């Protein structure tokens, strides 16, 4: 920073803007810092907004982390709320502001400018009734207060949430926890797109089990006074809804940048360099509005998360004062709680990796999250994606009742360090029966991945099992007889692992044989046993019976189709 006592303006007062302001103050005690926020509040907790609906966050005032008064008293930062920046004039280094309280306009000059306007909820004008007063979005504290007040004052009992991303799912959960009947409408064939279809079915089941009506592959076409109209597979359906929450996604707020002649990236976000400078070196941009960099794909991308926004804000502030940060892009690590299930992911999913032309494979394991003797031990579904033939870790997904975030954080760290299956296999992780297992699910997934990549055995995914059953493939269930009787794949033959060696002649060698157990461990041992006795055409069913059951359950219910199992058993 060349000038003494520089004047720095910041547009946007939430994660990116507030973090930039605080960092600048720590670097420069004399800078004049003014932060403009169009809304009523600065520095509020976006991610906690849905939890006010259920009363988990009882007082909406708690969502506001800082006030203009505290910014002024603690940091000597001037935070102006209800102040909308309407234009940027790079040639004169000024901005035009409209005071929303008085509807007057004025100008402020700057030495440096930080853009952190965030992203706007998408509200398609093509939807009839989108402007009705019982239609809401969830972007800030004002929005969530208005939504909750409308529900409480009007004694609302039926709600529809449109969009199955993080905000949509969390809003649906909290509305259900508040006692409402909730329908969730999603245009894609699944909710939570960062997860692959073989994993996300667990979340579909969880939402159904907790009374949320899911309408997938469905498009909202009209909003009426007490219902909505959706279209699915060319058929229209009416759903009762006294309040509608739109959560179909966000679009980066780039209007100011475009009008000021700043560059826009290929993904639609504000174009920035490694130091988060826009095409005007005196203007920086951070947060949801910018085009960032997908570290694994090696190409531009956008990510609307608070963590990356805060890191970007710090890096931008540092660069103003001659410090340089490494900009390695994002991995996309995230997590969510869906009723009783915790879900977390990082890096690429299988769909994205294959869509990008990356040669990859995966390990899918279902393992206890802690020692099985512990009363709160539960299965954790874990999927680890790796590059072939290098074994480089590309991503992971975990869903279960236990600490999925812990496991995904481990994988995120490994990806950041360029880790491979060999590295993950040898990770020394904390162990105690109440916290995990001696060979954690993370280690187990790496071991399975190495076996698959090195050709120790072959696997088929749970997504292929319906086709195998319907085609009459030879499927051998190696669980014990009581387990088999409680529910099994139709057409499967039960040869328990404990009887396998003496009944091996019952298994044909001249056709493909697909082996499964409950979670994949016993079937893995069975496959190796058969291979050791000369069988060359045997396959392990990844995820086994539990994985197949979880994958098929929702689709069977939603499509009213014939199950491939005699009876579902999720215990």
Task: Give the pair of three-digit tokens for residue 107.
Answer: 């100008």
Percent of the chain that is helix, strand, coil (3-state, to 5)? 30, 30, 40
Nearest to 442 by CA among 453, 452, 434, 431: 431
Other Cβ atoms closer than 10 A to 219: 15
Chain centroid to CA 445:
21
Q: Residue 292 pairs with which residues in a beta bridge?
A: 301
Q: Is 230 in a helix, a strand, or coil? A: strand
Cα(513)–Cα(478) distance, integer angstroms: 12
Other Cβ atoms closer than 10 A to 157: 12
Helix spans in 471-519 (H)? 481-485
Other Cβ atoms closer than 10 A to 182: 25
Other Cβ atoms closer than 10 A to 57: 18
Pairing of strands 64-66, 379-387: unpaired
At a CB cut-off of 8 Å and minimum separation 6, what does 561 contact?
555
Cβ-contact 224, 99 below 8 angstroms: no
Cα(480)–Cα(471) distance, integer angstroms: 25
The answer to whether 517 is a known catalytic residue is yes
Cα(153)–Cα(131) distance, integer angstroms: 20
Measure the N-to-C terminal CA separation of the chain; round to a whole number of Å.
62
What Cα–Cα distance (Å) separates residue 140 from each residue in 54, 170, 184? Answer: 16, 15, 21
| Residue 191 exposed, middle or buried by CB count within 10 Å (0-12, 13-18, 19+) | buried
From the candidates 345, 360, 430, 517, give the one annotated as an active-site residue: 517
| Residue 491 exposed, middle or buried by CB count within 10 Å (0-12, 13-18, 19+) | middle
What Cα–Cα distance (Å) separates residue 268 from each residue in 116, 246, 322, 491? Answer: 15, 21, 29, 51
Cβ-contact 565, 492 below 8 angstroms: no
Buried/exposed 505-524: b ≥16 CB within 10 Å, e otherwise: eebeeeeebbbbbbbbbbbb
Just list the catalytic residues: 517
């Amino acid at each position: 920073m060349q000038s003494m006592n520089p004047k720095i303006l910041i547009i946007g007062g939430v994660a990116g803007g507030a973090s930039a302001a605080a960092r600048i103050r720590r670097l420069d005690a004399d800078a004049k810092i003014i932060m403009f926020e169009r809304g009523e509040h600065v520095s509020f907790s976006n991610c906690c907004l849905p939890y006010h609906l259920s009363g988990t966050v009882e007082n909406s005032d708690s969502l506001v982390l800082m006030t203009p008064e505290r910014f002024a008293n603690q940091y000597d930062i001037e935070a102006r709320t209800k102040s909308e920046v309407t234009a940027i004039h790079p040639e004169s280094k000024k901005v035009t502001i409209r005071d929303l309280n008085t509807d007057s306009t004025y100008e402020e000059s700057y030495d440096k400018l930080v853009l952190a306007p965030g992203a706007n909820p998408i509200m398609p004008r093509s939807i009839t009734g989108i402007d009705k007063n019982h239609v809401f979005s969830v972007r800030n504290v004002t929005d969530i207060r208005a939504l909750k007040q409308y529900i409480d004052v009007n004694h609302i009992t039926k709600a529809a949430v449109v969009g199955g991303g993080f905000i949509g799912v969390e809003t649906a959960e909290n509305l259900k926890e508040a006692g409402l009947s909730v329908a969730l409408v999603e245009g894609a064939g699944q909710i939570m797109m960062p997860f692959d279809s073989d994993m996300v079915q667990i979340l579909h089941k969880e939402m159904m089990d907790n009374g949320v009506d899911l309408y997938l592959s469905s498009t909202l076409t009209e909003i009426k006074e007490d219902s909505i109209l959706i279209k699915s597979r060319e058929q229209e359906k009416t759903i009762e809804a006294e309040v509608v929450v739109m959560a179909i996604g966000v679009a980066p707020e780039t209007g100011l940048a475009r009008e000021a002649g700043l560059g826009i990236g290929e993904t639609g976000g504000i174009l920035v360099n490694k130091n988060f400078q826009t095409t005007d070196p005196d203007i920086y941009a951070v947060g949801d509005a910018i085009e960032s960099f997908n570290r694994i794909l090696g190409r531009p991308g956008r990510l609307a998360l608070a963590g990356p926004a805060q890191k970007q804000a710090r890096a931008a502030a540092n660069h103003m004062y001659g410090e340089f940060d490494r900009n390695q892009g994002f991995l996309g690590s995230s997590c969510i709680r869906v009723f009783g299930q915790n879900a977390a992911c990082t890096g690429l999913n299988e769909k994205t990796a294959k869509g990008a032309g990356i040669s990859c494979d995966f390990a899918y394991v279902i393992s206890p999250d802690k020692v099985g003797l512990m009363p709160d031990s539960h299965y954790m579904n874990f999927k680890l994606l790796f590059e072939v033939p290098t074994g480089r870790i590309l991503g992971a997904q975990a869903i279960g009742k236990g600490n999925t975030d812990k496991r995904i954080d481990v994988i995120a760290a490994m990806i950041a360090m360029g880790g491979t299956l060999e590295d993950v296999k040898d990770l020394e992780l904390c162990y105690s029966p109440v916290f995990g297992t001696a060979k954690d699910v993370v280690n187990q997934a790496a071991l399975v991945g190495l076996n698959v990549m090195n050709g120790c055995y072959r696997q088929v995914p749970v997504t292929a099992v319906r086709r195998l059953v319907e085609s009459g493939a030879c499927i051998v269930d190696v669980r014990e007889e009581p387990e088999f009787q409680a529910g099994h794949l139709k057409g499967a033959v039960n040869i328990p692992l404990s009887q396998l060696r003496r009944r091996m002649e019952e298994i044909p060698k001249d056709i493909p044989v697909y082996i499964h157990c409950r979670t994949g461990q016993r079937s893995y041992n069975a496959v190796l046993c058969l291979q050791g006795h000369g069988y060359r055409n045997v396959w392990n069913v990844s995820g086994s019976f539990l994985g197949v059951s979880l994958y098929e359950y929702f689709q069977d219910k939603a499509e009213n189709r014939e199950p491939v199992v005699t009876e579902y058993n999720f215990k």
